[in-house]
Amino acid sequence: MPQDLPLTVKDAAAALRAGSVSSVQLTEGFLKRISALNEYLGAFVAVTGESALTAAEAADSDFAAGMDRGPLQGIPLAVKDIIATEDAPTTANSRVLDPEWGKGVDAPVVARLRAAGSVVLGKATTSEFAIGLPDSEKGFPIPRNPWNVDHTPAGSSSGTGIAVAAALALGGLGTDTGGSVRGPAAHNGHTGLKVTFGRVPKNGVAPLGYTLDSVGPMARSAYDCAVMLEVMAGYDSGDPYAARVPVPKYSDLLTGDVEGLRIGVPMPYFYDSPEVTDEVRTAVFAAIDTLKGAGADAHAVVVPYAEQAKNANHITLVSEAYAYHRNNMVNRWNDYGRYTRRSLVRGAFLTAADYTQAQRFRAFFRRALAELFTSYDVLITPTWPSPAPRSDEMTPEKQLRNVSFTGPWNLAGLPAVAVPCGFSSSTLPLSMQIIGKPFAEGSVLKVADAYQRLTDWHLKVPPVPISVAA
């Protein structure tokens, strides 16, 4: 556990207002941990220490002048390196992206965080263009799971997930097209929210799947994600997909009360798949029992055509990704990482008919889920079928064959939060996923927060070798 550094945004915000710590002290503390651990963990591709300290000084000056911009003022955060920031280049961890892309500009979601007084520590590593497995030949940091560096931290928001779990930042931004916020949250042991499609503007973000992408908060707790989302969410005219839906004060909705909550537990596919380990199944059922003990009601349900939804999400994702990358794939094939090009090129083998049929199914699936949600407030599934696998066992082909408990909700555009719920026998994090109705982020965060008031899995910090941390 890091000495003298708060673990949560909530605790840091309280300490800042009590005067027991300054934003400069917080920022210096996290920069020191990054300096000691980043080579070991590969969380950041670029650290913006000078501008971070300048922002921290400004936050402290505002506090001294009696100006309080809200709970993110003075809070150090990480930003995934496919999201534009004015103080660092955006590379998408690739040799392909034009160096001028996003240069000197903050994406709206980053601008909103800065306006709220946040401190940006730097750009966090990502899978190349949010799709490829790490390729050591391309010269970018290789992200490693802080609980066991031989295991994957998951992608694509790997660096932000590592930074939060290993206490290198209090929170950060990820993006999610098929599970890229929730996978790292699950594998690294913290909270990560995939928002409703259109809830957070994504202009200034390098695209993967135009009709699937979302930008979401990653932090240690549901409360921390809630206060981040209050700032991040809302319409922006620069994003043609941004929704004109009012933004509630999510943190006010976190009452801890789940009395009478109706939980659907979709057994087929999500629990009975042979890929689901006994440890994962047991941990998620125990988490549901905890919520039932707090007054919630849970029943087995069926999510129809879940496997087809996973496949339709993949067809949509690779088709839209290939559309964005097609010219560069032709002209700069070898500049892409070897795993990235193997994933992207699948789009060349899909037809217009494949894509169209996937969208027809998508409409059907959304209607089926809307009907299910007339009887239930949330659904709960495992986030991932197993603890984090070894990195040397992962291939794009294996990922394609695996079940996905995250992709169906991208296809439907629904909010879903990954929440730590235990550890495996090999001390790797386990995670449950809470899914809600469109724009019901408040509901899924409320359930996650209620669970976290009764447990402390989200407060666990991975040990690091003394020789590294010293």
Q: Is residue 286 part of a domain?
A: yes
DSSP track, 118-176: -EEEEEEP-SGGGTSPP-GGG-S-----TT-TTB---SSSHHHHHHHHTTS-SEEEEEE
Active site annotation includes 103: no
pLDDT at residue 464 in the model: 75
Q: Is residue 375 part of a domain?
A: yes
What is d(CA 224, CA 229) in angstroms, rounded to the nearest whole number? 9
pLDDT at residue 6 in the model: 97
Q: What is the mean pLDDT of residues 413-439?
A: 98
Active site annotation includes 443: no
With cut-offs at 50, 70 and 90, classify the pLDDT of residue 1: very low
Nearest to 269 by CA among 298, 302, 243: 302
pLDDT at residue 465 in the model: 65
- The pLDDT mean for the chain works out to 96
With cut-offs at 50, 70 and 90, classify the pLDDT of residue 463: very high
Structure tokens at 84: 């534009």
What is d(CA 50, CA 41) in angstroms, rounded to the nearest whole number? 22
What is d(CA 372, CA 116) in angstroms, rounded to the nearest whole number? 38
pLDDT at residue 3 in the model: 62
Q: Is residue 1 part of a domain?
A: no
Q: Is residue 363 part of a domain?
A: yes
- Which of 10, 80, 194, 437 is the catalytic position? 80
- Which of 23, 94, 118, 180 is the catalytic position? 180
Element holding 47 (H helix, E strand)? strand 44-47
pLDDT at residue 468 in the model: 58
Q: Is residue 434 part of a domain?
A: yes
What is d(CA 227, CA 461) in angstroms, rounded to the nearest whole number? 22
Nearest to 250 by CA among 53, 442, 41, 456: 442
pLDDT at residue 443 in the model: 98
- CB within 8 Å of 352: residues ≥ 6 apart: none
Structure tokens at 53: 């300290």
Q: Is residue 324 part of a domain?
A: yes
Contact 388, 145 (CB under 8 A): yes
Active site annotation includes 460: no
- The domain total for the chain is 1
Give the domain extent around 298. Answer: 9-469
Summarize pLDDT for 108-160 with one digit per residue, the tens.
Answer: 999 999 999 999 999 999 999 999 899 999 999 999 999 999 999 999 999 99
Q: Is residue 4 part of a domain?
A: no
Using the predicted structure, report yes or no on whether residue 86 has a pLDDT greater than 90.
yes
Summarize pLDDT for 266-320 with one digit per residue, the tens.
Answer: 999 999 999 999 999 999 999 999 999 999 999 999 999 999 999 999 999 999 9
Summarize pLDDT for 165-194 with one digit per residue, the tens.
Answer: 999 999 999 999 999 999 999 999 999 999
- Which of 23, 94, 118, 156 is the catalytic position? 156
What is d(CA 28, CA 251) in angstroms, rounded to the nearest whole number? 28
What is the domain-level CATH number for residue 32? 3.90.1300.10
Q: Is residue 280 part of a domain?
A: yes
